[in-house]
Each structure stands twice: as structure tokens, then as C-alpha cells.
Amino acid sequence: MLNYDNLSQQDPELYKIISEEKERQENEIEMIASENYVSKPVLEAMGTILTNKYSEGYPKKRYYGGNQIIDRVEELAKDRAKKLFEAEHVNVQPLSGSPANAAVYFAFLNPGDKVLGLKLDHGGHLSHGHPVNFSGMLYNFVQHEVNVETGKIDMDEVREIAHKEKPKMIVAGYSAYSREIDWQEFKKIADEVGAYTFADIAHTAGLIAGKQMNNPVPLFDVVSTTTHKTLRGPRGAMIMCKEKYAKDIDKAVFPGMQGGPHDHINAAKAVAFGEALNPEFSKYARQVIINAKTLVQKLKSLEYKIISGGTDNHLMVVDMNSKNVTGKDAEQTLEKAGISVNRSTIPNDPNPPMKPSGIRLGTQALASRGMKEKEIELIAKYIDEAITNIGKEEKLDGIRGEVKNLCQKFPIPSA
């Protein structure tokens, strides 16, 4: 861990909590598809004096003095992001994924405008029109589903709904969808009906940056992403768009949605983008996908049902009905065995949202620890042993011990 001498001496109460969380992260297997381990340089950048500064506005157009040096931090982050994703314009100020999406809608839409997106329980995100989210309250979302048989997005259905509903924007990019996305076809459909194209690559940005998945940035009008999932940067987000929308996006982020940017986080974004530009990052991205495909194969051989039958990215949704277990019970059981996952709905879930039928598994954090196929096979075995021993505390404790042994051979990068 970094040197936390001051923290440990002056606030031992909080320091103790952080130390316990560090130990948990070191000794448990992290398979929540939206998490990752940042590098030490990313962690260090977040802990700098840049947090002291206020810099409302944009480089060379700030509403506060003393930003000559901060401007260079933001420009560096922007330049690296542009190179990484072949973007014409980048705004690195969004504080997180949902506020970034709010800014995108704010820039392109008026309240009440129609947007087409994927249903939440089919793999979409809350901010793509769910009724309890601002997006669903402010805008008129119409939603498509994945195909019942294939578990994949059905471009014919997307086209049919788009032609019928004539949305002003089509959003693609998901939270619990394991397949490549046909960006070209989405763009074609949007052009047919005169809709804006918006890609939300929060989950797969690192795999796109690592050149292992298709990049929508050169094609779409606007693209948002978080920086902390497969991209392995600090918690935060950014928006990329065509130059002709640059002013609208910038205005929507500030003063539209936010006050001052978090300059220390933007510095850490610059560090993470720098890391992602290094050829080593492609190897990580490749391994993430190899690990996910390995896990799918192994779980299928153990008779787990995988939604869509496989994966092209870092994640998969497992239908736990194939083992007569609810997603919630599976999540709690795996937690006892030292494996963090999250419960997830499956398409057309017969069970209620608090007790959904699936779990979502991701392999990006395991790849960041250096784990490869051999370890993934072992982890699949632990998962299966835990699920078949639901309620048997001693047995689960035993697996937890084996998980800990495995973890100790693969220290977390930010420890």
C-alpha cells in the first residue's frame, strides 16, 4: 500500500477500516463485472494536492484564477483520450457514468423527447430509461429486448421499433450484455430514421482501448464511458463526440450539470489513459476475454446455463435456474466462499428484481491480478463447489481458505 503514515497516526479509526478493506480485496476473488484494481500510479495521482484546486470552466476559459498548471492536467487527459479512442472531441470532467449520460441527454434532447434503448432487465443500464431513474422520468424511452431464443440483440427488432417510433436518439452499450455490438448496423438504422447515435461503453471501454473490441467512437455522434471499469482508471467518466457537438457537450457538462471538475481525478484519468496507450494494455485486454471465454466453457461443462450461450467481452450472465438456486442465494453463498459477484436479472426473468434468477460474472479484475486460464478453471471449480454446497457453512469456509491461498499468489496491483 502507499505510505499512509499520517492517516494511520491521526485517524486510526478510519485507517483500520481501510486496512480491513485492503485485506478483503487481497484475499477475495473479485468477479463483479464493473470493478477493477487501479495501478499504483493511478492511486498516487488521486491522492495529490490537485484536489485543492477549483477550476470551473475549461482550459484557458476558467472562472477561477490560478489554473495555468491545472489546464495542462486536463489537456493531457484529453489528448491521451483522443488518441486512445480516435475521438474528435473529449470532455473529461463528468464525475461518474450516470451524470455523463445526463449531460449527453441534456446536450441532444429536450425533456419528453423519444429515445430507444435496451430494457434494464435485458442488460441495459438504469440511465437508459428506467422509470425510477432521471432518464426514464425526463425522457420518453421506448425499449427493445434481446431475442428470447438467442439471448442476443435482435437488429431486426431494433429496426422495426425505430421505424415505428422514430426516436430522436438511439442508445447502445450495456451493463449486462456479453456480446459484441453491431455499431455499424445501429448507425445505419439511426440514419434511416434521422436519430442521433449514442454509445455508452462504460463496461467495455478498456477492451475497446486495448483493440480487442470494435470502437464506436469514429462512427457515433456521441460516446460516454466510465473510466473505472475495464479501463482501469479512477472512478469517473468522460464524453467523446464529433467536433460539431463539442460546444453542446461542454455546455451540458458545465454549467449544465456540474460545478467544478475534480482535478486530482482528472490527473488519474490521464495516468490511466497513458497506461492504456501502452501496448502492454492490449495484452491485458486480450487476457480478460480469454479468461471470460474459458470461464464460460468450464461453467457450461458443469451444466450452468449462460445467457446468449457465450461471451465476446469480459462478462457473462449465468441463469441460476439451471441449478435451482436464486441469484441472491448464489451471491450470498459465493460471498461466504470469498468470491464477490452480483445478482442479476436474466431476460424475461420469472423472478422479482430483488430476487432475480441470475448472477453476473466478470474476469477483468482477475486479469489485472495476472490470473490466466489455469486459475480461471480453478475458480470455476470453486464456484461450482460453493453452489453445490449451499448452506453448508464448514464446506464454504474451506473453499474460502483455498480462495485465499490462490489470491496470495496474485497480489493486487494497488496493494
**Site residues (CB under 6 A) for ligand PLP?**
34, 96-98, 101, 125, 127, 173-175, 200, 202-203, 226, 237
Nearer to ligand PLP, 223 or 339 (CB): 223
Q: Given the residues 4, 15, 22, 56, select the one marked as catalytic.
A: 56
Nearer to ligand PLP, 174 or 382 (CB): 174
Nearer to ligand PLP, 175 or 212 (CB): 175
CB of 98 to ligand PLP, least distance (A): 4
Work out the burial of residue 56: count CB atoms within 10 Å of its CB; fewer than 13 is exposed, 13-18 middle, 19 or more buried.
middle
Q: Is 226 a catalytic residue?
A: yes
Q: Given the residues 235, 300, 328, 381, select the one marked as catalytic.
A: 235
Q: Is 230 a catalytic residue?
A: no
CB of 34 to ligand PLP, least distance (A): 5
With CB atoms as reference, the residue minimizing the distance to ligand PLP is 97
Cell for 203? Answer: 463496461
Cell for 19? Answer: 486496512
Any residues with CB less than 8 A from the CB of 121 and at least 6 apart, and which? 345, 346, 347, 348, 349, 353, 356
CB of 350 to ligand PLP, least distance (A): 24
**For residues 170 and 189, is the Cβ–Cβ distance under 8 A?**
yes
Q: Given the residues 74, 121, 145, 200, select the one marked as catalytic.
A: 200
Q: Is 56 a catalytic residue?
A: yes
Q: Given the residues 44, 54, 251, 377, select the one marked as catalytic.
A: 54
Q: Is 235 a catalytic residue?
A: yes
Q: Is 200 a catalytic residue?
A: yes
CB of 104 to ligand PLP, least distance (A): 11
Q: Is 360 a catalytic residue?
A: no
Query: Distance between CA atoms of 203 and 230, rounded to whole angstroms?
Result: 6
At 225, phi and psi to the nearest 5?
A: -155, 150
Any residues with CB less than 8 A from the CB of 114 and at least 6 apart, and which? 139, 140, 141, 142, 165, 166, 167, 168, 169
- H runs (alpha helix) in 139-198: 155-165, 183-193
Residues assigned a catalytic role: 54, 56, 200, 226, 229, 235
